[in-house]
Amino acid sequence: MKPREIRPGIYSVGAIDWDRRLFDSLIPLPDGTSYNAYLIQGSQQTALIDTVDPTKQQILIDNLNDLGLEKIDYVVANHAEQDHAGTLPQVLSRYPQAKAVTTPKGKEMLMDLLAIPAERFVTVNDKATIPLGGRTLEFIHAPWVHWPETMLTYLREDRILFPCDLFGSHLATSDLYVSDDGQVYESAKRYYAEIMMPFRVSIEKHLERLKDYAIDVIAPSHGPMHNHPEFILKAYRSWVLDEPGNIVVLPYISMHGSTRKMVDHFVSALTQRGITVKQFDLAVTDIGKLAMALVDAATVVIGTPTVLAGPHPNVAYATFLANALRPKLKFASIIGSYSWGGKAVEQLAAMIPNLKVEVLPPVISKGLPREADFQALDGLAETILQKHQGLHLA
Ligand code: FEO
């Protein structure tokens, strides 16, 4: 994609990655992604906000060449992760007088990760500014969105916020701005769930600080720009601050059908009580969908057979992930079956220390579930109903 003018003297110069399907060798990208970079020209100086993933470096370099720039004075590195900073060495080499602008922690990390020499940096404190001539960059330290060095850049006169990963979405689109609210909401929520949710407490503080800024456009470094910023700010406030909903997330695996029978019965028992259930067969599910479901849920119930005396490995993986993502869950339980014994319940319960949940009594059947097991599942559904009512959930 060639450079595209956002405002006179401000250009989108990044790259769209239509075909990428996995990020960090972990996160599914069903809709691709983009690595957005922005060029800002003042009357005296020029700044580049972020670079692009190294796989797309030639697109960025070509775009800067197309603009016929004689010089770049500053390359702002809001974040040291390679999908935004990975082309910084090439840009600094192409523009030898340019300085990389970052937080002190960002400098340390970029020297470690990309071997950029110390003399190429200008570090900035929180609320520091750099004038470009008629345009002013202000830097807002925002640690832990989602690494310790992260910052946001605010272009004062144009009222544009460049928050890098924050408010972003893994979505490849040729549209510069959000054109399909539903699609972007889904992608942004997936992004929040997979990347930002563990840092809810930090994000809450950053959202509060941003109230002091007049923002016309949010220009993240993944996905389309927001020219109606309240759309994404409101979504983030909801994901970060709202109480969880009257929702049970039910990730499970079944090997020979016993756990599946329990899941089927349990889902009916919950829905008959007016509880929304989001059920995921971990043999086939997209873990991003599971992460998204965890954003709003009050309860997770994990369904597992017993394999080699413990939970099924896919269940252990999903449980490890849920623990790492630190959703707002209030309650957890386990259902499943075993043939001759095992420690699946104990092992899973030990895997969720980050979740500040009340663990409700599990329901485990020996072999095929029988009437007593189904009654126990009804009892667990009733307990969850009462617990949710106690929270006054919607
Ligand atoms: Fe888009 Fe944390 O990198």
The domain spans of the chain are 4-241, 245-388
CA of 356 to the centre of ligand 1 (A): 27
Burial degree of 127 (CB within 10 A; 0-12, 13-18, 19+): exposed
Q: How far is CA 368 from CA 143, 336, 346, in A?
A: 50, 10, 21
CA of 84 to the centre of ligand 1 (A): 7
Rounded CA-CA distance 340/366 in Å is: 8
CA dihedral 65, 69, 73, 76 (to 10 degrees): -50
- Nearest Cα to 62, choosing from 82, 90, 103, 34? 90
Q: Report CA torsion sign: 73, 79, 83, 89.
A: positive
Rounded CA-CA distance 94/128 in Å is: 26
As assigned by CATH, the class of the 245-388 domain is alpha beta
Which protein residue's CA is at the shortest distance from atom 3 of ligand 1?
81
The atom number, within ligand 1, closest to the CA of 168 reads 1
176 backbone dihedrals φ, ψ, rounded to 5°: -70, -40
Q: Is the CB of residue 295 less than 8 Å from the CB of residue 191?
A: no
Taking the model in full, what pTM does it have?
0.96
- Across the strands, what pairs with 331? 299, 358
Q: Is the CB of residue 233 less than 8 Å from the CB of residue 332?
A: no
| Per-residue pLDDT tens digits of the chain, which is 394 residues long | 899 999 999 999 999 999 999 888 888 999 999 999 999 999 999 999 999 999 999 999 999 999 999 899 999 999 999 999 999 999 999 999 999 999 999 999 999 999 999 999 999 999 999 999 999 999 999 999 999 999 999 999 999 999 999 999 999 999 999 999 999 999 999 999 999 999 999 999 999 999 999 999 999 999 999 999 999 999 999 999 999 999 999 999 999 999 999 999 999 999 999 999 999 999 999 999 999 999 999 999 999 999 988 999 999 999 999 999 999 999 999 999 988 888 999 999 999 999 999 999 999 999 999 999 999 999 999 999 999 999 876 5
CATH of the domain spanning 4-241, picked from 3.40.50.720, 2.60.120.10, 3.40.50.700, 3.60.15.10:
3.60.15.10
Which protein residue's CA is at the shortest distance from atom 2 of ligand 1?
81
285 backbone dihedrals φ, ψ, rounded to 5°: -75, 155
CB-based pocket (< 6 A), ligand 1: 79, 81, 83-84, 146, 165, 222
CA of 375 to the centre of ligand 1 (A): 47
Q: How far is CA 238 from CA 289, 313, 316, 368, in A?
A: 18, 33, 29, 41
The atom number, within ligand 1, closest to the CA of 147 reads 2
